[in-house]
Amino acid sequence: MKNGKKGLSRRDFLKVTATTAAAVATGATAASAAPVKKPQARQGEVVIQFGLYGFWEIPAEGGPETPGQQAMQAFLDAHPNVKLEQIDFNIWDAGALLTGIAGGTAPAYYMSGVISGWSTAGTLASFKQGLFADITSLYQQYNIDAELSEFAANVNRAKIQTPEGNFYGLPFEIAIGNGIAFRKDLVEAAGFSPTVDWTWEDVRQIAAALTGEFVKGIAMQPWGLGWALTAEGVGGNNLLSVVPAPSTGWNWQRDYESHMGTIVMAVERFRAMMYDDESILTDVTSNDSVANDSLYNRTAAMATIPGQFLTRTGIPWPMSIAEEEGVPFDEIIGYLPQPRGVNGHFGQFPSNQPISFSPTLSSEQLEALIQMYVFLELGEGFDLRRRLAFEESGNLQQAFASWPFVRAKQSIDGVDGTPRDAWGALVDTAEYMSGIAAIPESGAFIPAEANQGPTDDAWNDVQSRLTFESGSMDVPSLVKEAQDVWNTQAADFESSVPDDEFKAAAAEYYAALASFWEEKFPDFYEGTFKEWYETVIADALGM
Amino acid sequence: MVVLNSPTDALSDQLKNEPGDEVEIKISRRSRIEKWLFLGPATVFQLSWGWYPMIVAFLLSFTNAALRNRIVFNGFGSYQRMWNDPLTQRAFEVTFTYAAMSIVLTFVIPILVAIFLMEMPPHIMRWMMLLWFLPLSGIANVVLWRYFYNAQIGLFQYIATDILGLEPQRFLNDSNQVLFWLIFPGILLFGPGLIYMAGLQSIPESYYEAAEIEGASFWRKIWTISLPRLRPIIAMLLTFAIIGSLQTFDWPQLMTGGGPGGASRTVVLYMYSIINNARYADATALAIMLFAVIMTITIIFRMLYPEDPDA
């Protein structure tokens, strides 16, 4: 008893409650402020942390279950000092990656394009800002170039190696280029037989013919208008709309007015598809996968998708449509590169999508990762994984998924078959697109930028309005507004590249471009590029 | 004054001698320790997770905020850049428009609904309250509404065209309507209506009886009794609503990504876009600008709208 009263007094109860709550709050504060768990390695052990949604699988605790896990287990058996941990980190989240890299909590590897905007210049700039590990010595030590296909080694070389010779990435997935996948059976039934030389006018006619009550002719991402503009090389940050401006702080400007007629033509054609033909399936709420998903869901007969999606296995990739329909892949799915522009321009070149490594890794961790890459992507581990996938499914496409391979050897030990056996006529399209050869990129000539610049929001806003607003629109005014906004933004940025250095490098870059277009696409060169190069570019660079 | 221990005899004598004066009572050492034990964790938490990041962000806004390279002092460069950026102005316009619409639609309407609900039979009121207590997953909510609004296959399009016989609607694809449609789900969720109902129930019935005797109409009673008595609650919730609506991010980001054409890109959404371009200094400068705007609006509101029900 206390103070003559039985049991707990109100004051005592409140004290106990408050003390308990304070203790819990203290614990929560301490836990939340605790250092992030770093891999706890025993003596000689190398612990590597993988993020979510990556490509290399960690063997299950009860033993490897999938072909990918079995291949990884084989690597771990050969390297018993290497331990893998899964962390709850989405490697496709750009913001999270930037924060993780800054804070030292990023997973071991990620696609460099996620934080670089998938461009070569952006990737180089990210390396210069210290967002990727320098793997030069390891790259040379393991002689990786000798194991790569010529395609993988040369396409977008600057995405893995700086002009100064530093390596910061490894080729991981070869993209043959962006194109349009379509239901070949439906297209042929409608009386069309498109070829690699098709145009956007052809696409419009086919899409209109295939549009029905429950099916749209073509599904596109919310920024699908960008495809049509890229075909012409105009708008956004496409070739003819980006001009060097060494007299400004940022060194670059947008110039949409010089080719306004082409922009207006492409926009009006797209809007005719949207609002007259009503043949495009897209929505502002859609994400990037809407096109591929719509093709799989049979709500669209065509879809704008990257080439590498074609050779991915499982739902909702196009290959699964053939499996569900029970017909050979190349009888039901067709794929062609994105159409050319009316001016002869071609905008969808093959690309290399490399992986890079966290700059906070130790040399031991980096070496283990390089060894892992060599085993799983270039060597025995690759053959093992693909052979097991084939044996499990009996499907050659499982063995030759994500073809073409980055490694030089395009066959698989223990699998009796070729890519053509797996993919049929698709191989012809892939070979055509990969044979176009990579266009020279600014990142390979112009020193990497250490500072960040304006976002693409100004153009994206206008592109979005041009896509989703019906009725009459003053396209030239809107496009000019996007140009002016971007240039206003750029005026407040300062490039890290000195003007003289920039001018010399840019001159070299545009000269390489001129040679490329003249050799590969002479009609575009003679009809459009040459005059632009000799007037606009020459003036800008004082040539 | 809180008296934690019995006053001493000397103090008792002082109280007897000076009953009207404020007497400073000494708090024992034990009570002081208890006080800081209770306050300590919350204080540490607030300082470490509230004030420290804010101060660091403020300082970062004057640098280049390099992720891994050397951080360099940049003065007001980021502020100037964001001030000159046309998209910053647009983002603020969108934010103010969104906030104004949101407050009118999701703040004012629940007050009226709560008042009308109080007039309903008790069983109807209980059923309505049951509906509002149903759990709703946030992400599931967003996914559902994205489907509802889809201009081609969405439920609302079906209702508009097949049931109501209207022309096909653009919903979120229309830059003139997108903000309304983003706010619309909030109207249906009733918001703070339950808090208003609790406030209304605390008003003595005698006030309304007296007003009826004087011949006051229904609306007169609302205006002279209900709303003034709800003033403290309204003032508090409106402050939160103003701050919250000016910081809107999740629904525009998840539903439209700021589109179409930037028509739903709020300031915080633009900040997110800049952060994803690794322009941390610019993002923090924009955050400080937004903070200054919100603080100013909140102070003005508090000065213009006193909480006192009898004001």
Residues of chain B predicted below pLDDT 70: 1-27, 132-137, 190-191, 307-311
Of A435, A190, A174, A203, the C-alpha closest to A304 is A203
The alpha helices in A472-521, defined as continuous H runs, are 475-490, 499-520
Are the beta carbons of A452 and B172 separated by less than 8 Å?
A: no
**For residue B159, what are its two tokens?**
């209702």
Asked if A464 and B261 come within 8 Å (Cβ–Cβ), the reply is: yes
Between chain A and chain B, how many beta carbons pairs sit less than 8 Å apart? 130
- Between A64-73, A149-158, A354-363, the lowest mean confidence (pLDDT) is in A149-158
Q: What is the pLDDT of residues A91-114, one digit of tens each?
A: 999 989 998 998 899 999 999 999
For residue B255, the one-letter residue type is M
- CA-nearest of B88, B256, B80 to B179 is B256
DSSP β-bridge partners for residue A52: A90
- Supply A366's token pair: 């980096």
- Residues from chain B that touch A28, judged by Cβ atoms under 8 A, are 45
Closest CA of chain A from B64, distance in Å:
9
Name every chain B residue with its beta carbon within 8 A of the beta carbon of A461.
87, 259, 261-262, 265
Tell me the shortest Cα–Cα distance from B257 to chain A, in angstroms.
8
From B132's Cα to the closest Cα of chain A, the distance in A is 27
**Does residue A3 surpass a pLDDT of 50?**
no
A493 shares contact with chain B (CB less than 8 Å): yes
CA distances from residue A82 to A21, A44, A58, B99, B126 in whole angstroms, order as listed: 43, 9, 12, 54, 61
d(CA A217, CA A277): 9
Average pLDDT over residues A254-271: 96
Instruction: Give me the residue from B68, B80, B260 closest to A464, CB to CB.
Output: B260
ipTM of predicted assembly, 2 dp:
0.82
Do residue A285 and residue B172 have CB atoms under 8 angstroms apart?
yes
A517 neighbors A434 (Cβ within 8 angstroms): no
pLDDT at position A430 is 78
Mutant choice from B84, B152, B157 vs A, greatest count of A C-beta within 10 A: B152
Best to test chain B binding among A278, A284, A469 (most B CBs inside 10 Å)? A284
- Test A468 with B37 for CB contact under 8 angstroms: no
Instruction: Give the torsion sign (CA, A172, A178, A180, A184).
Output: negative
In B, which residues are within 8 Å of A465 by CB distance?
175, 260-261
> Which tokens belong to B103?
């407050």
Question: Closest Cα of chain B to A33: distance in Å?
Answer: 8
pLDDT at residue A2, as a whole number: 44
Comparing CB atoms, the residue among A102, A455, A469 nearest residue B274 is: A455
CA distance A543 to A535: 10
Q: How far apart are CA B257 and CA A283, in angstroms?
A: 12
Close Cβ partners of A452 (under 8 Å, ≥ 6 residues apart): A125, A493, B277, B278, B279
CB A304 within 8 A of CB A315: no
Report CA-CA distances (Å) from B204 to A509, B186, B225.
81, 31, 10
Nearest residue, CB atoms, B276 vs list A95, A216, A283: A95
- The average pLDDT across A49-69 equals 93
Q: Tell me, what's the pLDDT at A468?
A: 93
Q: Determine contact, residues A212/A362, Cβ cutoff 8 Å.
A: no
Query: pLDDT tens digit string along B229-263?
Result: 888 888 888 999 999 999 999 889 989 999 899 99
Query: Which of these, B238, B15, B212, lies nearest to B110 by C-alpha position?
Result: B238
| Eight-class DSSP state of A535 | I
**Identity (one letter) of the amino acid at A6?**
K
Half-sphere exposure of residue B133: CA atoms within 13 angstroms, side-chain side:
8
Q: How far is A205 from chain B (nearest CA, A)?
A: 21
Q: Measure Cα distances from A137 to A125, A365, A373 in Å.
A: 21, 14, 15
What pLDDT was estimated at residue B128? 77
For residues A358 and A109, the answer to whether their CB atoms sit within 8 Å is yes
- If we measure between CA atoms, which residue out of A279, A142, A283 comes closest to residue A222? A283
The pLDDT of residue A197:
86
pLDDT tens per residue, range A130-176: 999 999 999 999 999 999 998 888 888 888 998 888 999 999 988 87
CB contact under 8 A, A129 and B278: yes
Of residues A204, A201, A263, the one with CA closest to residue A462: A263
pLDDT per residue over A388-439, tens digit each?
999 998 888 889 988 889 999 999 999 999 988 988 878 888 788 777 767 8
Which residues in chain B are closer than 8 Å to A493, comparing Cβ atoms?
81
DSSP label at A529?
Answer: I
Kindly determine whether residue A464 and residue B40, on different chains, have CB atoms separated by under 8 Å: no
